[in-house]
Amino acid sequence: MLLEVGSNIMKFYEYLLRRTDGRVKDYPLMQSPVQMTLILLGYLFFVLYAGPRLMANRKPFQLTSAMIIYNFSMVVLNAFIVYEFMMSGWATTYTWRCDICDYSDSPEALRMVRVAWLFYFSKFIELMDTVFFVLRKKHSQITFLHIFHHSFMPWTWWWGVTLAPAGGMGSFHAMVNAAVHVIMYFYYGLSAAGPRFQKFLWWKKYMTAIQLIQFVLVSVHVSQYYFMKKCDYQVPLFIHLIWIYGTFFFVLFSNFWIQAYVRGKRLPKPVSHQNGVKAECPVAANSKHLENGTLAHGNGSTQNGKVKEV
């Protein structure tokens, strides 16, 4: 039985390597799913076990300068990602409807491949969000949804870059997510800079509104697929996953909006003022920010929304 299971796993692995888009095989972390899976397992080990034990008898690190540099660097990176997505099709040749993946070696297709990989790689950089929480001993912010978003997003995007790196309608959510992260990381960069910048952060309430708009845009755009007479997008599974992801986080953020701004249950100590790193996901149980994104962003989001982030 075990031999049969092992044989099937190896067959699938070999099939996956054959299906891997040749244009991304030489990019870092794209040779197989093993590398990125080990990184994410290491992230989970540090966040859930090693990090808390390391900090148990230590004072929280301040890390103010590091967080300022990190947040504003992420602003620049995400702005560049948005620009590249636009110039690779969304502002040039795409119809914003049934746009399929371009598997050619045209300059525009190769540019889309590069930015798709860069977006994927940025999700590993965003793991620093949680590392800052650990080192600053803000353990209450390291919730299940925060960890889920930060680990699940890069893991799923490996498959996206492997099978469909050349954009199409499946890349719209990435462009929107990166745009939201520009705003979010800018906000948290100012927050990390200290009390003298608090007067410029009056628009905190609208961060949640921006996240909600993100999920609406993504869900509406991808929902077109279900109403078209014909759409030859090559990997429809990604369409279904994007719709589920967008809807799931829209519900979470809607609940947070109601709890915080309709019923008046404001957060006693916002994550942004504690850490200076983004909090993309709301949790109804305690009305606290999780993350971007997504998510994350938001980013997350869960971001990241990012709740990542969505």
Catalytic positions are 149
Both tokens of residue 157? 């995007």
How many Cα atoms within 13 Å fall on the side-chain side of residue 51?
21
How far apart (Å, rounded) are the C-alpha atoms in residues 121 and 115? Answer: 10
How far apart (Å, rounded) are the C-alpha atoms in residues 204 and 217? Answer: 21
Angular region, 167: left φ>0, alpha ψ -120 to 50, beta rest? left
How many Cα atoms within 13 Å fall on the side-chain side of residue 245?
38
Maximum C-alpha span of the chain: 65
The residues, any chain, with a CB within 8 Å of residue 95's CB and separated by 6 or more, are none
Per DSSP, the residues of 72-102 read: HHHHHHHHHHHHHHIIIIITTT--SSSPPP-
Both tokens of residue 253? 């953020």
> Is residue 303 classed as helix, strand or coil in its secondary structure?
strand
The residues, any chain, with a CB within 8 Å of residue 103's CB and separated by 6 or more, are 21, 109, 166, 234
How many Cα atoms within 13 Å fall on the side-chain side of residue 160?
30
Both tokens of residue 121? 């790689």
How far apart (Å, rounded) are the C-alpha atoms in residues 65 and 282? Answer: 27
Other CB atoms within 10 A of residue 86 CB: 15
